[in-house]
Amino acid sequence: MSGTAREQALTTAVLAAVPGALLVVARGGVIRFCNRAAESLFGYDSGALAGESVDQLVPAALRESHARLRAAFAGQARERTMGGGLVVAARRHDGSEFPAMIALKPAMLAGESVITALVRDVSEGVESEQAMRGYADSLSRANAELERFAAAAAHDMNEPLRAIAGYCALALDHSAGPTDAQVRRWLEQARDGATRLRAVVDGLLRHARSAGAALAVEPVAADAAFANVRSDLELLIAQSAARVTHDPLPTVQADPALLEQLLRNLLANALQYRGEAAPVIHLAYRRHAGHHVFALSDNGIGIEADAHQRIFEIFGTLPARSPGTGVGIGLAVCKTIVARHGGEIWVSSVPGAGATFHFTLPVRDAARPEP
Amino acid sequence: MTAGNGTGFAPVVLVEDSPSDRELACEALAAGRLANPLLTFVSGEEALAALAARSPGEAPPVLILLDLNLPGMSGRELLEVLRRTPSLAAIPVVALTSCDDDHDFLRGEGLPVDAYLTKPVTPARLFAAAARVERLASGLLTRPRVR
């Protein structure tokens, strides 16, 4: 064998051994060379592809545009990588199709300008991507459905609740005699029960809303938001002789209504789970690692370590000190609100010596929309 | 339709499909300071038919308390018909909702209503709404307090 013949044999052997489908296409679309992997990928017998038009390897419907694109590519003669390219439809000899990614590179071969192409079957990747997308779609549909259900259920429960509370109140207004004292007490219990359940139902509705409604993120002065919340809870603060203070607070990117609800729920929680002493509540602030970190500490009854996760679940509340005050949704709402803003919420506590609720909000550029 | 006490005063209209909400509103308003007669309707269709059939000399309602979640013609649909019917367009409307939370939600929709009121309907809530929105107060009549 001559040196040239040996080199040629080596080249052919190397090309045949390339772990991938390789095609060499001349101007005009004629396949000058292909390796065995390419033949088997497209379902051709050995030697059956060389000399054929590359346009056969695309679905009939795309042939015309493929020929046009091919001519344009030959004119530009630049490299296109496999990862950067799009997934295109490829056609096997038997007419079946598969998604493919194709890397193209112009080259000179024996004085002729050609395009080398590496073709990869990406069926599996496409299928798993479709499966993932389908899963995500069904999950978001299920979530939306659940939110609608919660909102509808909350509305439908309110009507009978109004009936119970309303008729009890009516009966109370009309029963004034001393013999009715026991009946009056029962009616009061029923009315108060309905009022408590009403709070639960409204809480559920708020929870469904806080999870479902679109976020309207804008710059919010946290000190103004906290001042609003304090005035909302003024009566409760005055009744418990609580001292409520805060550090200088920043302007944050948040949904103003949801931020106030978050602060309101946390402050109400601190006032509710008070100890024997008058509540001392402080909202601390620091900036850490690209996050606003808020911490609302109280001197209340505190929370056992094994409940630190559970309290953020719906109805995961501690037994309330006075009956009927623990609604069990407030902290779940807090968790949802913080998560929707891209932050985290957690609690640290020494039982008997108070609790601190920490939450973070990412420091965001005002101009940049919600991710 | 349930007629009120026939005082000859212009009525307050309540459109509410829930029998208990309707009765409790009637009881509460009758026991309170409101002197206007109360006309109640169980559906939007019934309310609209009665309002349209009003004789020329009859005073229009001073306001309409409207449940937004009605079966059949919804409260929103009734509202739309009211607003584009010249003889009814000027009547103030108070939308009745189940939760306080609904108000912000509905305000976002920009419904052509004068105020929102969370059920149950009570004289206190009605007069509180009237204190905020002048248009509502104009036709409301109060009974003198009995000593």
Residue B99, domain member (yes or no): yes
- Pairing, β A280-288 against β A291-297: antiparallel
**Chain B residues within 8 angstroms (CB to CB) of chain A:** 18, 20-21, 24, 27, 31, 69, 98-101, 104-105, 119-120
The alpha carbon of residue B120 is apart from the nearest alpha carbon of chain A, in Å, by 7
Dist. CA A97–CA A138, nearest whole Å: 28
Q: Which amino acid is at A104?
A: L
Q: How far is A307 from chain B (nearest CA, A)?
A: 30
Test A209 with B119 for CB contact under 8 angstroms: no
- pLDDT tens per residue, range A330-361: 888 899 889 989 999 999 998 888 999 999 99
Nearest-CA distance B57 → chain A (Å): 37
Name residues whose C-beta falls within 8 Å of residue B126's C-beta, 6 or more positions apart in sequence. B29, B34, B65, B94, B117, B140
Q: Does any domain span residue B63?
A: yes
Mean predicted confidence (pLDDT) in A163-187 = 79
Q: What is the pLDDT of residues B84-121, one digit of tens each?
A: 998 899 999 999 988 777 777 777 778 889 999 999 99
**Residue B36 identity (one-letter amino acid):** N
Model pLDDT, residue A81: 60
Distance of alpha carbon A365 from its chain centroid, rounded? 20
pLDDT in tens, B4-29: 444 568 899 999 998 889 999 998 98
Element (H, E) at B15: strand B12-15
* Per-residue pLDDT at A77: 60
**In whole angstroms, what is the distance from residue B77 CA to residue A196 CA?**
34
Alpha carbon distance A62, A147 (integer Å): 44
Cβ of A202 under 8 Å from any chain B Cβ? yes
Q: Which H or E run contains A294? A: strand A291-297
Nearest to A232 by CA among B99, B125, B107, B100: B100
What digits encode the pLDDT tens for the residues A121-157?
A: 888 777 777 777 777 777 777 777 777 777 777 777 8
Q: What SS3 state is found at A173?
A: helix
Split at pLDDT 50, 70, 90, the class of A212 is low
Tell me if A126 sits within 8 A of A173, measured CB to CB.
Answer: no
Asked, for residue B70, whether it belongs to a domain, the answer is: yes
Looking at per-residue confidence, does A166 or A67 come out higher? A166
How much is the pLDDT for A313?
Answer: 78
**What is the reported pLDDT for B44?**
94
Q: How confident is the model at residue B79 (pLDDT cuts 50, 70, 90)?
A: very high
Task: Report the distance separating Cα A81 and Cα A101, nearest Å.
Answer: 9
B101: nearest Cα among A150, A42, A163, A340: A150
C-alpha span between B36 and B7 (Å, rounded): 8
User: What pLDDT is stored for residue B48 in this prediction?
Assistant: 92
Q: Answer whether residue B45 shows pLDDT above 70.
A: yes
> What ipTM does the predicted assembly reach?
0.73
The answer to whether the CB atoms of A159 and B20 lie below 8 A apart is yes
The CA distance from A75 to B110, in Å, is: 58
Q: How many CB pairs under 8 A join A and B?
A: 41
Domain membership flag for residue B49: yes
Q: Distances from the Cα of A284 to the Cαs of A98, A363, B103, B138, in angstroms?
A: 59, 17, 33, 50
Closest chain B residue by Cα to residue A167? B24
B17 occurs within a structural domain: yes
State pTM to two decimals: 0.51
- The DSSP output letter for A223 is H
Smallest Cα distance from A162 to chain B, Å: 7
**What's residue A83's pLDDT?**
46
Residue B146 lies in a domain: no
Whether residue A206 lies within 8 A of chain B, CB to CB, comes out as yes
- Both tokens of A168, joined, read 């009890």
Q: Please, are residues A331 and A273 in contact by the beta-carbon 8 Å criterion?
A: no
| Residue B104 belongs to some domain of the structure | yes
B144 assigned to some structural domain: no
Contact A209 B98 (CB under 8 A): no
Mean pLDDT in chain A? 82
Q: Which residues lie closer than 8 Å to A248 by C-beta, 6 or more apart?
A: A223, A285
Structural domain total, chain B: 1
Q: Phi first, then psi: what are they for B122, rounded to 5°? A: -130, 160
Summarize the confidence of residues A25-29 as an average pLDDT: 86
The domain that holds B56 is classified in CATH as 3.40.50.2300
Q: What is the distance between the alpha carbons of residues A312 and A307, in angstroms, rounded to a whole number?
A: 9
Range of the domain at B88: 12-136
Reported as type and span, the H/E element at residue A159 is: helix A123-174
Higher local confidence (pLDDT), A328 or B93: B93
Q: Which residues in chain A are closer than 8 Å to B123, comparing Cβ atoms?
A: none
